[in-house]
């Protein structure tokens, strides 16, 4: 039998398992096809194998073997590039594009998940090794490995799960306000956001249009929501879940968003296919806060001082 | 041709409003009545894939965003 075989096998299984559990198809609608799964599962497996080999290498005092990790990290960075390239390429075919900030966030997530598999596998071997040194029976060694790997993996998973718009802002669904000659100007809460020239389009907006107001809870949230990429991500998520009556060549139903510069609230207009207020609210609230959009002016001295 | 050119691509208005528009880069289309105005605007919007806007003074513009 392979030396340290049990230890390695256990770690690989646990590490890969964690990667699999993160591979659920969520609202991001990606990956959706087996090809995508195979790519990510294989990389997750490789990451777990690498993680599980660190400890045995150290035990055998084969320190050079550990340096292979450096090369592995390069591989995982390629995943990020691959995801970014892919999502950027298909951007032109999206009715409502994801936006650069969102793509960057997704790409980074996919890279990070491989590290999660690697670390989980590594911690499993650590747990196993410690009890092996204490001379505990095989079964308990295995259990210790699973528990330690599982706990560390779970903590990392929790840390890695993003905040959502619902955490930093209140979302309200309102009616669209029509103003101006022939009601051509649309907006919410007094902010005019769009002018519609065609009567047919205007009637459609009146019938099925929905206004959304996103009210930031504090100044941090206000700065985050002011980010264009973040707002684009909200619109993309909203449209990918509830649909929108929009096609190429007919720009009249393009969803728009606009900041109320005085209050920092985000107004949004959209013609959803499903006009279900609760669902719209939930879709907006569940949009992740993008890492690149996150701002914390209140964490600085100047920011705090300026806020009061 | 989509998305190449930004700005006003066409202007549509009633003949009687001719004094409100000057021809510039964009072509100006004159309609005989309200019905034709609406129809012309819709048609031009679809053909040029530009968005129709109502300036409120009887002048419609088609804008590529």
So what's the pLDDT on residue B1?
A: 40
**Tens-place pLDDT, residues A166-189:** 999 999 999 999 998 888 999 999
Distance from CA of B2 to the nearest CA of A (A): 8
Q: Is B53 in contact with A196 (Cβ distance < 8 A)?
A: yes
Asked if A254 is an interface residue toward chain B (Cβ–Cβ < 8 A), one would say: yes
Pick from B49, B50, B54: which is nearest to A195 by CB?
B54
Distance from CA of A253 to the nearest CA of B (A): 9
Per-position DSSP letters for A247-285, written without gaps between them:
BTTBGGG--EEEE-TTT-PEEEEE-BSS--HHHHHHHHH
Q: What is the mean pLDDT of residues A85-111?
A: 88
Q: Return contacts of A76-82, CB within 8 angstroms, 24+ apart.
A: A76/A43, A76/A47, A76/A111, A76/A114, A76/A115, A77/A111, A79/A40, A79/A43, A79/A107, A79/A110, A79/A111, A79/A114, A80/A107, A80/A108, A80/A110, A80/A111, A81/A107, A82/A39
Q: Is A197 in contact with B50 (Cβ distance < 8 A)?
A: no
Asked if A181 is an interface residue toward chain B (Cβ–Cβ < 8 A), one would say: yes
Query: Quick one: pLDDT band at residue A135, thresholds 50, 70, 90?
Result: confident
Q: Is A184 in contact with B54 (Cβ distance < 8 A)?
A: yes
Q: What is the ipTM of this complex?
A: 0.82
């Amino acid at each position: 039998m392979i030396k340290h075989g049990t230890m390695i096998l256990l770690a690989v299984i646990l590490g890969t398992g964690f990667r699999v559990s993160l591979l659920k198809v969520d609202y991001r609608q990606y990956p959706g096809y087996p090809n995508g799964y195979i790519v990510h599962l294989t990389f997750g497996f490789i990451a777990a194998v690498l993680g599980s080999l660190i400890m045995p290498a150290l035990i055998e005092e084969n320190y050079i073997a550990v340096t292979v990790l450096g090369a592995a990290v390069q591989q995982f960075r390629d995943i990020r590039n691959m995801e970014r390239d892919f999502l950027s390429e298909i951007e032109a075919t999206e009715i409502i594009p994801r936006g650069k900030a969102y793509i960057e966030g997704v790409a980074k997530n996919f890279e990070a998940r491989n590290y999660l598999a690697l670390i989980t596998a590594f911690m499993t071997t650590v747990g196993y090794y410690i009890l092996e040194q204490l001379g505990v029976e095989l079964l308990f060694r295995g259990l210790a490995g699973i528990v330690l790997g599982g706990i560390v993996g779970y903590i990392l998973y929790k840390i890695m799960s993003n905040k959502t718009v619902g955490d930093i802002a209140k979302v309200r669904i309102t009616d669209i306000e029509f103003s101006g000659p022939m009601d051509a100007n649309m907006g919410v809460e007094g902010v005019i956001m769009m002018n519609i020239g065609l009567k047919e389009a205007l009637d459609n907006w009146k019938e099925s249009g929905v206004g959304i107001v996103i009210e930031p809870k504090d100044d941090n949230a206000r700065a985050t929501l002011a980010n264009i990429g973040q707002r684009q991500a909200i619109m993309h998520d909203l449209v990918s879940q509830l649909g929108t009556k929009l096609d190429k060549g007919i720009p009249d139903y393009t969803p728009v968003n606009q900041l109320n510069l005085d209050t920092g609230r985000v107004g949004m207009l959209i013609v959803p296919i499903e006009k279900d207020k609760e669902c719209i609210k939930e879709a907006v609230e569940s949009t992740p806060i993008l890492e690149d959009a996150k701002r914390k002016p209140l964490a600085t001295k100047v920011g705090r001082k300026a806020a009061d | 041709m989509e998305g190449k050119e930004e700005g006003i691509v066409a202007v549509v208005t009633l003949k009687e409003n001719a004094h409100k528009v000057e021809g510039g880069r964009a072509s100006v289309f004159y309609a005989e009545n309200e019905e034709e105005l609406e129809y012309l605007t819709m048609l031009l919007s679809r053909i040029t894939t530009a968005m129709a806007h109502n300036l409120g003074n009887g002048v419609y513009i088609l804008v590529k965003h």
